[in-house]
């Protein structure tokens, strides 16, 4: 049975978008028409397609007269200098058997597909098995290939044998595509929404930074922030030090950064009150920075001389050894104020509890939510999650910080609108209202 092939090429845009007229190679009646879709890229909307990284080709096909039985997909590199600009039918077995012909395989001995399993990845002669499908496969088969290499694919109708990946017969002709080469692109269309969100954040950030320098931006009062100063005052009266823990994460951690920013402010206050400030760090890098920050804080208070570097300590990076070390400090030096800002894990309870029993005023703040219940329970003031970041802005009143906070607020509004909007669409769609049924959030946010 002769067949003819239609290879539909989609120049970098997904099926839904623009379709190049199918090119007819031969046209004889009473023949199966193959319509092969080749995907090199993905669209701005819609989930179908492959990432254009130069390593992936998407293959899907339908046949207009439905033929039962499976289809075996094979691939080979284009031989240099070989010219096959057209797809065409070809036979891969000699006569109605299951032994792949030498002519087809190119090199190597012939192989009997009935006995040799052809699992994906198997190499037979020049060819590599890509996949097999029972019947047509309109969904994409994504094939991983080498970049800058042309490949020829063959789709062979086949009848499966009983052992897995074996084939007892290859009825009719196989279809050979013309050379295909994975495309490379410089932008991943599926991620435009992500880019938009980042852009929005950047814009809001920039806008408010500009604004913050010109007018004072309103920030709602944060309970617990003002507590810091009172607490430091109390420590001064009691003549006991203030303990500041920068969390148990590394410097790169956003929360550690926020903590270090607040530390600068706290250092300034302690310098003004002339109270000892002890800083416990879980990472050497953090310690180095904390020392810089505290020195700066003392300098801002005009008491650079009072800064004692040995008060900024690196305990150990081992989480529980760290907790034990700090607990030791709390019990031995009995600070009147413990401030835990940054990221905390299991040790949060150990610290807060020990401090609670040592009768210190405790102020905690972390975005590590699993620890918040314990801080809430055992500390006098707790900054919940994002309030930690808000706190540094609220304290420093520093334009950049405020801008950060405001940008966050803008985005919250946007998110709320997006969620509400999409929810309405989804709900209407679920009730079969027309325009909405055609639309899904998956299309814009894969």
Partner 1 sequence: MTPALGPVDLLGAWIAIFLTMAILSFLYGDNPFYKLAEHLFIGVSIGYIVVVQIKNNLWVKLERPLSPWDLVPAILIAMMFVKLASRKLAWLGRFPLAVVVALYAGQSVTGLVGSDLGDQIKTASRSLIVDKIDLNSAPPGELSQVPGVSPAIAAKLVIERTARPFTSLDDALSRPSLTASERADLADERGLLVGTEARAATESNRVDWFGVASGVLLLVALLTGLLYFYFSIAHTGVLGRASRVGVWILMVGFGASFGYTVQGRIALAIARAQDIRGTFVSPADAAQIHGEVAAIVSSVIIVAGIWIWERRRAGVAAPGEAS
Partner 2 sequence: MKNTAPVLLGMVVGCYMVVEYFIPHYAVRDVSAHVLQWGGLVAAAAYVMGGINLVQVTWPKIRRREQDWGYKVVLLASAAIMMLVGLPWRALIGVRAPGYAWKLAPSPELARRHEARVLVEAPDDVIVAIGTATARDNVVAPGEVAIKASRRPIGYDAFETKLVLAPGDVAIVAADPQMQWGASGRVRTWIYDYVFAPCNATMFALLAFFVASAAFRAFRARNIEAALLLGSAIIVLLAQAPIGRWLTTSLPHLSDWILDILSNGSRRAIIMGAAVGAIATGLRVILGIERSHLGGD
Partner 3 sequence: MHWSDRLQRFDRRWIFLIMALAIVIPLYVPIGLPIKARPMTKAAFNAVEELHAGDVVLVSMDLDPASTAELEPYYRAVMLQLKRKGVKLVFATLWYQAPPLVARWLRETVDVAIAPPGTPGYEGLPDRAYVRNQDYVYLGFREGKQNIILGMGANLPGVFGGKTDDGTPFADIPWLRNIHGLGDFKLMVLVSAGAPGAKEYVQFAQNRYDLRMVAVTTAVSVTDLAPYYQAGQLLGIVAGLAGSAEYEVMVGKPSIGVQGADVLNAGHGVVIIAIVLGNLAYFASRRRKK
Using CB distances below 5 to 8 A depending on partner kind, what does residue 52 bind out of partner 2, partner 3, partner 1, none?
Answer: partner 2
Does 287 bind partner 2 (CB under 8 A)? Our answer is yes
Rounded CA-CA distance 265/296 in Å is 10
Which run of H or E residues covers position 144? strand 137-144
Binder to partner 3 among 115, 149, 216, 370 (CB under 8 A)? 370
How many other C-beta atoms lie within 10 A of the C-beta of residue 143? 21
Q: Does 346 bind partner 3 (CB under 8 A)?
A: yes
144 contacts partner 3 (rule: CB under 8 A): yes
Per CB under 8 A, which region of 75-83, 94-102, 181-189, 427-435 contacts partner 2? Answer: 181-189
- Does the protein bind partner 2 through residue 57 (CB under 8 A)? no
- Of residues 156, 358, 364, 378, which one binds partner 1 by CB under 8 A? 358
Please name every residue paired with 337 in a beta bridge, in sequence order, or none if there are none.
Answer: 242, 361
Which residues does residue 278 pair with via DSSP β-bridges, in sequence order?
243
Q: Are 59 and 140 in contact (CB under 8 A)?
A: yes
Q: What number of CA atoms fall less than 13 Å from residue 187's CA on the CB side?
A: 9
Q: Nearer Cβ to partner 3, position 121 or 359? A: 121
The pattern of x and - marking residues 300 through 329 that bind partner 2 according to CB under 8 A reads -------------xx-xxx-xx-xx-----
Query: Please, which of residues 186-215 interact with partner 1 by CB under 8 A?
Result: 191, 193-194, 197-198
DSSP string, 353-415: HHHHHTT-EEEEEES-GGGHHHHHHH-SEEEETTHHHHHHHHHH--HHHHHHHHHHHHHHHHH
Q: How many CB atoms lie under 10 A from the CB of residue 370? A: 11
The yes or no reply on residue 422 touching partner 3 (CB under 8 A) is no
Of 204, 205, 383, 390, the one binding partner 1 by CB under 8 A? 390
Instruction: Select the binding partner of residue 404 from partner 1, partner 3, partner 2, none (C-beta < 5 to 8 A, by kind).
Output: partner 2
| Cβ contacts of 115 within 8 Å, gap of 6 or more | 166
CB of 123 to partner 3, least distance (A): 11
Hey, what's the torsion of the CAs at 356, 360, 366, 371, to 10 degrees? 0
CA 350 and chain centroid, separation: 33
The site for partner 1 (CB under 8 A) is made up of: 191, 193-194, 197-198, 217-220, 222, 251-254, 285, 288-289, 315-318, 320-321, 324-325, 327-328, 331-332, 346, 349, 357-359, 369-374, 376-377, 384-387, 390, 405-406, 408-409, 412-413, 415-416, 418-423, 425-427, 429-431, 441-442, 445
């Amino acid at each position: 049975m002769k067949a003819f092939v239609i290879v539909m090429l989609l120049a970098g845009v997904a099926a839904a978008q623009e379709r190049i007229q199918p090119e007819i190679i031969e046209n004889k009646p009473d023949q199966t028409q193959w319509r092969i879709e080749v995907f090199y890229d993905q669209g701005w909307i819609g989930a179908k397609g492959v990432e254009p990284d130069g390593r992936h080709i998407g293959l899907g096909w339908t046949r207009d007269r439905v033929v039962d039985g499976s289809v075996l997909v094979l691939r080979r590199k284009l031989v240099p200098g070989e010219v096959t600009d057209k797809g065409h039918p070809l036979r891969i077995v000699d006569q109605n058997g299951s032994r792949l012909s030498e002519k087809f395989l190119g090199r190597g001995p012939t192989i009997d597909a009935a006995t040799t399993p052809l699992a994906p990845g198997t190499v037979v002669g020049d060819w590599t098995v890509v996949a097999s499908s029972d019947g047509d496969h309109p969904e994409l088969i994504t094939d991983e290939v080498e970049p800058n290499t042309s490949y020829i694919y063959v789709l062979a109708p086949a009848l499966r044998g009983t052992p897995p990946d074996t084939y007892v017969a290859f009825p009719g002709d196989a279809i050979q595509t013309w050379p295909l080469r994975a495309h490379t692109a410089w932008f991943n269309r599926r991620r435009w929404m992500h880019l938009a969100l980042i852009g929005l954040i950047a814009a809001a950030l920039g806008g408010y930074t500009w604004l913050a320098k010109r007018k004072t931006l309103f920030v709602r009062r944060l309970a617990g922030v003002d507590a810091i100063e009172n607490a430091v005052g109390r420590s001064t009266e009691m003549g006991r030090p203030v303990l500041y823990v920068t969390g148990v994460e590394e410097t790169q951690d956003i929360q550690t950064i926020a903590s270090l920013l607040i530390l600068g402010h706290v250092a300034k206050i302690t310098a003004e009150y002339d109270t000892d400030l002890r800083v416990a760090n879980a990472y050497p890098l953090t310690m180095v920075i904390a020392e810089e920050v505290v020195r700066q804080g003392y300098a801002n208070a005009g008491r650079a001389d009072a800064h004692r570097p040995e008060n900024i300590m690196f305990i150990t990076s081992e989480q529980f050894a760290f907790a034990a070390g700090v607990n030791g400090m709390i019990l031995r030096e009995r600070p009147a104020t413990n401030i835990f800002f940054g990221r905390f894990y299991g040790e949060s309870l150990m610290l807060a509890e020990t401090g609670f029993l040592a009768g210190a005023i405790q102020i905690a703040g972390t975005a590590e939510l699993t620890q918040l219940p314990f801080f809430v329970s055992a500390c006098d003031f707790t900054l919940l999650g994002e309030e930690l970041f808000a706190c540094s802005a609220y304290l420093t009143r520093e334009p950049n910080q405020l801008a950060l906070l405001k940008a966050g607020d803008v985005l919250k509004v946007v998110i709320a609108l997006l969620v509400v909007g999409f929810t309405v669409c989804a709900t209407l769609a679920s009730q079969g209202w027309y325009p909405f049924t055609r639309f899904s959030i998956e299309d814009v946010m894969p």
